[in-house]
Amino acid sequence: MPRGERSEGAGCLQVTAAASALRRAVDVRLAAMLVALVVIWIALQVATDGLFLSSRNLYNLSLQGSAVAIMTCGMVFVIVARQIDLSVGSLLAFTGVLTAYIQVGWADAHPDAGWIMSIGVGLGTGALVGLFQGWLVAYQGIPAFVVTLAGFLMYRGAAFRVAEGQTIAPLDDRYQRLGGGADGSLGVTWSWVLGAVACVWVLFYVWNTRRERAKYNSEASPRWLDVAKIVIGCAAIVAFVAVMVSYPNRAKMDDAGNAPGMGIGIPVLILIVVAVVLTFLSHRTRFGRYVFAYGGNPEAAVLAGVNTRRLLVLIFVLMGLLSALAGIVTTARLNAGTNSLGLLAELYVIAAAVIGGTSLSGGIGSVPGAILGAFIIQSLLNGMVLLDVASANQQIFIGLILIVAVKMDVAYTRRRTT
């Protein structure tokens, strides 16, 4: 072979190897979702004449999206395991109304601890419902679609029975902090502290990933890419904190008209804790590995000795807990419990999980992607409200988005398996 052809062939091989290494180092789907979110925000900023990216709207968006994102994190485990849960919105309503009902009922008898006990009852109820649904799916062989569709009807009805069609309010002031509001944020100082901790974590994560790859003689990502991840990640964190602290807390305005910044809302902090815990579960525990192994190949998981029945039960218990937690955050934000809570939340949660890269065929999904998908959905809903789009048209648009997301998932799965 002539020298020129050999050089050209070697160059092509190097380019191909570099491209392959880049694909392994970067989550292409997550990166695409980040780009899509940025594009959506810019488009909505233009369409709303600069209103969408205001500090006030972004603060409210962070609160509104937290409840959906919390449930979406749990839906990742459900869908990865090739199951589905259509009852999450109704369960949010039932546990939220039950929490509010008990809190108001116990307000006189337990003025100091009533709100804490009501949270325990709400979370316990969510776990028990998840246990019941998981038992039906795993041990009775009833398809999850049927079980959770029945739950979709039953828990909405139970919420109506508890509330008797009325609004249960007001709730404890300390409880309301869990939903944001005047006292429901970290403030300026602690928000910057949390942002600094997050930047340190980004730095540690990139460094640890590189160290782990070197430890097992795996091909490391280019150094420039690691630097870019750190710079972009920290810049996004700083920008987020800066926007949150720039929104003034007018409820605490002094006589001179100065108001302190709100900072990061408590619901966002709760979401961060949920995301960290579930990411650790999915990557660092036997439970997480079993979930992905079962979703990738159920038969192989059984042959490997995985107790798949218990695994499915635990997945639905986790989903029930997170639905109840989302119900607590929602009722705290609204300062009321009503049976209309969580309407269409099932659609938004499933759509967010799929948009975030969770494959409906099972075995693929990530918590960060799910959170990103949840905020894409919430950004679209928020933008359509600002643009005064009719509610019916909002539902049509989100439905079309879900179809597009599933089509992309099918195409990605087909390309990955060929």
pTM over 0.85: yes
Give the closest residue to 71 by CA, choosing from 51, 108, 100, 96: 96
pLDDT at 13: 46
Q: Quick check: 126 and 320 in contact, CB under 8 A?
A: yes
Backbone angles phi, psi at 265, to 5 degrees: -70, 150
Exposed / middle / buried, residue 211 (Cβ in 10 Å: 0-12, 13-18, 19+): exposed
Give the closest residue to 282 by CA, choosing from 368, 408, 162: 368
pLDDT at 24: 56
Tokens at 138, concatenated: 């795993």
How does pLDDT run across 297-308, given as a tens digit for each residue? Answer: 999 999 999 999
pLDDT at 3: 54
How far apart (Å, rounded) are the C-alpha atoms in residues 33 and 27? Answer: 10
The neighbour count for residue 339, using CB atoms within 10 Å, is 25
pLDDT at 414: 73
pLDDT at 402: 80
Q: Write the CATH number of the domain with boundaries 27-184+266-417.
A: 1.10.3470
Beta bridge partners of 333: none
How far apart (Å, rounded) are the C-alpha atoms in residues 169 and 171? Answer: 5
Secondary structure of residue 388 in the 3-state scheme: coil
How far apart (Å, rounded) are the C-alpha atoms in residues 34 and 272? Answer: 18
Domain parsing of the chain, residue ranges = 27-184+266-417, 185-264
Tokens at 9, concatenated: 């062939």
Q: Quick check: 119 and 329 in contact, CB under 8 A?
A: no
pLDDT at 161: 93
Please identify every stretch of the chain with a pLDDT value under 70, giving residue numbers as ranges: 1-27, 107-109, 413, 416-418
Secondary structure of residue 251 in the 3-state scheme: helix
pLDDT at 20: 52
